[in-house]
Each structure stands twice: as C-alpha cells, then as structure tokens.
Amino acid sequence: MNKSFKIFVYPHKPDDPFANVLLPEDYNPEGPYTSELYFKKALFNSHFITQDPNEAHLFYMPFSILHLRHDPRIGPEKLQDFVKDYIFNISHKYPFWNRTGGADHFYTACHSISEIAMDKTVEAKENSIQLVCTSTYFVTGYFPHKDVSLPQIWVKKHDPGTLVSSKRNRLAFFAGRVNSPVRAALFKHWVNDTEIFAHFGGLETNDGKEQLRSKFCLHVKGFEINTARVTDALHYGCVPVILANHHDLPFTDILNWKSFSVVVHYMDVPVLRKILQGISFEELSWLQSNVMKVSKHFEWNVPAVDYDAFYMTMYELWLRKSSVRV
C-alpha cells in the first residue's frame, strides 16, 4: 500500500467561497468529531496524493460534513442540497464519477448527521465509500463490506503516564447521560454498586483519573452508537467493554477486537459484574497487554506516523479499492 496506493483529491482553491469546508485546517482540530478533519489534514500532507487522476485508485471528495453542519450558509437544513450539488458539479466537470457511478469515490464524516447527508444522492449512498464514525448495521445506508468505520477519537494533549495494571482497584467505570434504553438499564442495575462505578452525567475533569484506576471501561450506546469512550479507554490502558449492539467496530478487517476488548450484549447488563469478575487474572493481563499494543492504531498524529489511525484507515481503503469495477 505504502508504495503504490494513490488518491486523487478534487482540487479547490484557497479563495473558493467554501474553502473552510473543502480544504484542511492549518491548525490541529479539537473536539469529539474531529477524526474526519485529522484524516483530511494527514491525507493532504501524505505521499498517497497524486495530481494525475489517471493513476488514482480512489477519488476523495474533501467536503467536511462537520463544517457544513456549522456553516451558517448551509447548516443541517441545506446539507443534503450542498452534497447533491457538489456531486453534480464533479460529475459534469470530470469523467471519473460517471465511470463507476461513484464506486471509487469516498468522503469522511464523524458526526451522526452524516446518516442523512446523502439522502438526495442515492447513488452516492449506495456506491461510494463512506468513512464514518456512525458505523452500525442498524442504520439504513451503511454497508460494512463497502464502507469504513472511522474511529471517533478525542485527541489528548497529555501523555497518561504510567499505565500499571496493579494500581487499578476498581472493576469498571462509566460516566454519561441516560439517553438510551441500555444506559437506563446500566444505571438501574449498577448506579450504587461498589465494583462498577456508573456516574450520571459528565465528570468535573476529563483527566483520565477514573479510567486509570479501572480495569474495564464501558462503552455504552447512547443516542448514537459511536462515542470517543472506546479510544479514551485504550489511551488510558483500560480494557474497553462494548455495550453497543450492531456496532461495526473500527478496523475489524485488520484487528481482532476479542484480543483487547470485551463485547457484551444489551440483554446481559443485569449480569455485567458477574461477566467481568469471571475473567481470570491471566486473561485480564493478556487483554491489558494487547490494549497497550493496539492503542497506537487509534491515535491521530501530525504528521501521520506509521500504523496510526491515518495509516489504518488508508489500509481499510486499500482493501476496498480492489472491489471497484470500472
């Protein structure tokens, strides 16, 4: 992949009226939905870019769903029209979209509004590769064999320091709002438990203190299936527990999630403590060791570093480029 994979990015000038939406930032983005922005920033500065579309394996549509959502000229109300017009323009100005019906094109999005962004361009939803954080089998329009699960990562400014497992004296940790049935069930059964710390609402500080003292960190589906809790857990050396049915987890084509996480079905929330306590010390040590190994795959770096989130995402694209038929 490193030697031969090539991406053509549809070009836009700095004086384009929507340059803020189409071009990468000259700063490091912050916030929970910035994975799409970090990917674009890394791609524009990578050796995968080609100026010759004839040697490209895939074509990148660089509009930012996140910026479109917040742009007062577009917003959620006009988002679908912008995407529809964008695809209309590139399909009439260039020959590449029409060769495959957009099957060798892709875009990135981390906010859940991406689920409706393509509603006025059905061809794009059904054919193009979607790099999205809202990766669930339960949503109409997401196809795991075609689309890519983009990890939602809240970039940390500080190194967590020592991740020694012996100092983890709490079984499990979760903090968040009750905005889904599975979270309601979690608080119903475990809000006053001494082993599972289920905290209603956000924490006063997000310094990783609770994750660092817990063996397991819970990712419990909220209003949407995706949050940064999984990658937060990995950052702090805490074994993720996935309570999110139908979640197409990031990089499942590459990584074996069973080797560094625990997947629990919604129906098993009442016996969650029993499940986690049933994991032997040897198995827990194995899971924790693998968490340390895979955490580098869930980090955005500027510039990108081999095997980080950017390169993992590129490899997912590389695997899909062979499926395209011209």
Q: Residue 201 and residue 208: Cα distance in Å, rounded? A: 15
Residue 236 lies in a domain: yes
Domain count, the chain: 2
Give per-residue pLDDT as tens, 143-187.
888 999 999 998 887 777 767 666 799 999 999 999 899 999 999
Q: How confident is the model at residue 50 (pLDDT cuts 50, 70, 90)?
A: very high
Percent of the chain past pLDDT 70, that is, above it, reads 95
Q: Residue 37 and residue 245: Cα distance in Å, rounded? A: 27
Residue 160 lies in a domain: no
Q: Are residues 209 and 77 in the same domain?
A: no
Q: Are residues 132 and 230 in the same domain?
A: no
95 touches 54 (CB < 8 A): no
Instruction: Write down the number of H helices and E strands in the chain.
Output: 13, 10
Q: Residue 98 and residue 89: Cα distance in Å, rounded? A: 12
Q: DSSP secondary structure string, 98-140?
A: HHHTTTTEEEEE-STTHHHHTTT-HHHHHHSEEEES--BTTST
Q: Compute the residue count for the chain.
A: 326
Residue 64 lies in a domain: yes
Q: Are residues 105 and 202 in the same domain?
A: no
User: Is 60 exceeded by the pLDDT of residue 90?
Assistant: yes
Q: How confident is the model at residue 324 (pLDDT cuts 50, 70, 90)?
A: low
Q: What is the CATH number of the domain that holds 239?
A: 3.40.50.2000
Q: Are residues 125 and 143 in the same domain?
A: yes
Residue 193 lies in a domain: yes
Q: Residue 306 and residue 158: Cα distance in Å, rounded? A: 20
Residue 159 lies in a domain: no
Q: What is the mean pLDDT of residues 241-268?
A: 94
Q: Residue 32 and residue 150: Cα distance in Å, rounded? A: 12
Question: Residue 162: its pLDDT value, please?
Answer: 66
320 touches 146 (CB < 8 A): yes
3 state DSSP class of 191: coil
Question: Residue 167: its pLDDT value, please?
Answer: 79
In our burial notation (b when 16+ CB lie closer than 10 A, e otherwise), range 164-183 reads ebeebebbbbbbbebebebb
User: Is 80 exceeded by the pLDDT of residue 308?
Assistant: yes
Q: What is the mean pLDDT of residues 278-307?
A: 95
252 touches 148 (CB < 8 A): no
Q: Are residues 22 and 66 in the same domain?
A: yes
Residue 2 lies in a domain: no
109 touches 66 (CB < 8 A): yes
Q: Are residues 124 and 251 in the same domain?
A: no
Question: Residue 101: its pLDDT value, please?
Answer: 93
Q: How confident is the model at residue 63 (pLDDT cuts 50, 70, 90)?
A: very high
Q: Are residues 80 and 100 in the same domain?
A: yes
Question: Residue 17: its pLDDT value, please?
Answer: 95
- Name which of 17-31, 60-74, 139-153, 158-172 the model is least confident about: 158-172
248 touches 135 (CB < 8 A): yes
Query: What mean pLDDT, rounded, does the chain reach?
Result: 92
Residue 213 lies in a domain: yes
Whether omega for the bond prior to residue 303 falls within 30 degrees of 0, making it cis, is yes
187 touches 198 (CB < 8 A): yes
Q: Are residues 247 and 272 in the same domain?
A: yes
Q: Are residues 43 and 85 in the same domain?
A: yes
Q: Among 54, 59, 65, 81, which Cα is nearest to 9's?
A: 59
Q: Among 303, 299, 61, which Cα is nearest to 159's?
A: 299
Question: Residue 155: its pLDDT value, please?
Answer: 84
Q: Are residues 15 and 45 in the same domain?
A: yes
Q: Are residues 25 and 110 in the same domain?
A: yes
Residue 28 amino acid letter: N
Residue 306 lies in a domain: yes
What residues make up the domain containing 138? 7-153+300-323
Q: Are residues 106 and 184 in the same domain?
A: no
